[in-house]
Amino acid sequence: MSSSYIQLIQTSIPKEYSNQLGSLPSSTCGLFDHVLRFALGGDCPEDASSETRTQWKERQSMLEKLKKKRPREDGEERDAKRARTDEPALYSLHNIPVTSPIRKRVHVSIHKSSLSFIHPTSGNVESSISLSSLSRVFLLPTRGKAKPHWTVVLLSPDTQVIFGIDATPPPFETTDEKGTTTKHPKSTPIIPHLRTFLSHLPFPTLEPNLNVFKSALGATSGTEGYRGAKPGTLWFLQEGVLWDTSKTCEFWDMRDIASDGVRTISATGRSCSVILTRKDAEQAVDIQMVDGKEQEPIARWVKAHQHRFGKSDDPGEAPPEDSDEEDEDFVLHSSDDDGGSATSDSDENEDNGRANGDEEEEAEESGEDEDEVEELDPARHPLLRPGAMPKMSRAALEAAIGIVQDEFIGGPVDGSDGEEEGEEDELED
């Protein structure tokens, strides 16, 4: 069997098919060889007819067009989103630790229409992503690091790119669009180079801003919590809310959030859950174990941006004027350890509540009688409101105790005969 294409493929295919090819007549093998040569773009065989020679190139071009039009498999669809590696790099960051889509140190290069991750030694492209598949980029201060650190997050519906680097790393290199590689000495701030790299993207970079949200626990625009068993950071931005676990991220754009799509719920006040809901989502996302002190800054953020939830308005538009109705739209829910519940709409109400609580404690310690306790404001004590609980005089209360003693003990404890027959308990109106 002298057919070169058949010989080549016979050494590579599974043994079952190789044996079947070996059992075929030489004329059939010759036909297979010519078909393979045609399909793989080879030259026309020397023994082909003049008609075949005329049609060879034309029919090969038709076959290539059919290959491009046929439906792609899932793996091929992903390959189609990869970068064009023949484009010159506009900017490259060398030897960067990447978390996603691969997990290794690589050169990260941005091209006109793609992002590529290149092995620092071999120069092979480890992975590549089309910029058209990406829609947002975030530049975040990394939390939980011993030294200042930056994380870059690029998102799309089905792709995430995440990589980070120390704010003042060891000596590092960058390459510009002219192909000039620059060596930067130790402790050179990385942030200007990250911003230069991201400036080549076709969309703006989103960054946290302390004027938009400031944590109650420090000078940061994020707050820590747990989604299931995974820790992460909630970033409250001008454009929406980002959940960042350093490995996977999810973003709630202002336009996608339901009108009441950001709420906090607390059982004790020491910690709380942040409930995030999209407009069309059947289930909300629950970020748990957030420090209870964060409820107040989250409430302020919601009050400032809630008018933009679910709408496509200008992010810079000023919030509407304050009103009582708007204040009621977002309420921090909490309950005492004994299962009771309370609500707080403002710092003023919280201060008043603490003051009233102090008054009650002082009244108990000083032994104030019932008449003095009745002077408390009924508006803040539901049990003192008219009709909520019948008022009883001291005499009526003692009479009720006497009845219980007669029924279950057999007479007053002090040996007296109790109340005279005909005397009735009186309830104050």
pLDDT tens digits, residue range 17-42? 777 777 778 778 778 778 877 887 77
Cβ-proximal residues to 126 (8 Å cutoff; 6+ apart), any chain: 102, 104, 106, 117, 118, 119
Q: Which amino acid is at 370?
A: E
Residue 414, CA distances (Å) to 48, 407, 417, 418 in order: 128, 15, 9, 9
> How far is it, in rounded angstroms, from Cα 402 to Cα 420?
11
What is the domain count for the chain?
A: 4
Whole-prediction pTM: 0.56
- Give yes or no: residues 235 and 165 share one domain: no
Residue 139, CA distances (Å) to 16, 217, 297, 320 in order: 55, 21, 22, 29
In a domain, 169, yes or no: yes
- Give yes or no: residues 139 and 59 share one domain: no
- Give yes or no: residues 31 and 55 share one domain: yes
- Give yes or no: residues 8 and 107 share one domain: no
- Give yes or no: residues 85 and 197 share one domain: yes
- Give yes or no: residues 329 and 236 share one domain: yes
Domain boundary among 292, 323, 345: 345
Mean pLDDT of 80-101: 79
Confidence of residue 200 (pLDDT cuts 50, 70, 90): very high
Q: What is the mean pLDDT of the chain?
A: 77
In a domain, 8, yes or no: yes
Domain boundary among 206, 231, 256: 206
pLDDT of residue 85: 53
- Give yes or no: residues 162 and 106 share one domain: yes
Confidence of residue 410 (pLDDT cuts 50, 70, 90): low
> How far is it, in rounded angstroms, from Cα 6 to Cα 3?
6
In a domain, 62, yes or no: yes
Confidence of residue 168 (pLDDT cuts 50, 70, 90): very high
- Give yes or no: residues 268 and 325 share one domain: yes
Q: Which domain holds residue 420?
A: 390-429
Token representation of residue 73:
């498999």
In a domain, 49, yes or no: yes
**Spatial CA neighbour of 258 closest among 285, 219, 222:** 285
In a domain, 118, yes or no: yes
What is the CATH number for 150? Answer: 2.30.29
- Give yes or no: residues 200 and 235 share one domain: no
Cβ-proximal residues to 409 (8 Å cutoff; 6+ apart), any chain: none
pLDDT at 291 over 80: yes
Domain boundary among 345, 378, 407: 345
What is the CATH number for 320? Answer: 2.30.29.30
In a domain, 186, yes or no: yes
Higher pLDDT: 6 or 32? It is 32
In a domain, 168, yes or no: yes
- Give yes or no: residues 88 and 193 share one domain: yes
Q: Quick one: three-class SS letters along 195-226? A: HHHHCCCCCCEECCCCCCCCCCCCCCCEEEEE
In tens, the pLDDT along 105-136 reads 999 999 999 999 999 988 899 999 999 989 89
- Give yes or no: residues 131 and 246 share one domain: no
- Give yes or no: residues 103 and 187 share one domain: yes
In a domain, 211, yes or no: no
Q: In a 3-state reduction of DSSP, which class is residue 250? A: strand
> How far is it, in rounded angstroms, from Cα 337 to Cα 335?
7
